[in-house]
Amino acid sequence: MNDHPTPLGGTCSARFDPLRELFAAKLESGEDLGASLAVNIDGEMVVDLWGGWADEARTVPWTENTIPCVFSTTKAMTSLAALVLVDRGELDLDATVARYWPEFAARGKEGIKVRHLLSHTSGVPNRAGDAAPCRAVGSTCLTSRRSLSVPVSPLRSQSKEKSSCR
């Protein structure tokens, strides 16, 4: 354990001082080892904070350029974006994915609905083969592989349609 005070950097609009204080308290208490927090409102960065430690030994300060390892963050953002589209009438949860992405229907996936993807009940594996070669060429490669994938299990929500993503 390092005896130095927990580092905290960045900027914060005065109206978000309580958020800065909470952020600092979480780091100081050890509840969070290190973190970054950014809040942008209408194009204005009102909070841009970072602090704590980038290593468990607490010898490397967390900086504005520390790259964290994150898991599953896209699930929540994808769901929120999808629900905004549903609210606007631009996305139908009961439509097939192929309505919006025709290539997805390949190889037995024509009956999979949008709600099945959002609720992880489609039977499509979480990875379409080895994604490593795709990293160099970007999302087009991954999108193509996903459309060519085959469900590994039957559509889990067919027998319990009402319970998924309602």
96 with 157, same domain: the answer is yes
Q: pLDDT-based confidence at 3, cuts 50/70/90?
A: low
Reference 20, options 56, 53, 50; nearest CA is 50
User: 31 lies in which domain range?
Assistant: 1-69
79 with 158, same domain: the answer is yes
The model's pTM: 0.51
Q: Cα(44)–Cα(145) distance, rounded to whole angstroms?
A: 38
**Residue 99 exposed, middle or buried by CB count within 10 Å (0-12, 13-18, 19+):** middle
**Structure tokens given for 91:** 């996305």
62 with 92, same domain: the answer is no
Q: Cα(35)–Cα(31) distance, rounded to whole angstroms?
A: 11
Q: What is the pLDDT of residues 100-116, one digit of tens each?
A: 999 999 888 999 999 99
43 with 92, same domain: the answer is no
Last residue of a domain, one of 33, 49, 69: 69
Catalytic machinery residues: 72
124 with 142, same domain: the answer is yes
In eight-state DSSP terms, residue 161 is G
77 with 159, same domain: the answer is yes
Please tell me the total count of domains within the chain: 2
Q: What is the pLDDT of residues 68-109, one digit of tens each?
A: 887 778 888 899 999 999 999 999 999 999 999 999 998 889
In eight-state DSSP terms, residue 51 is E
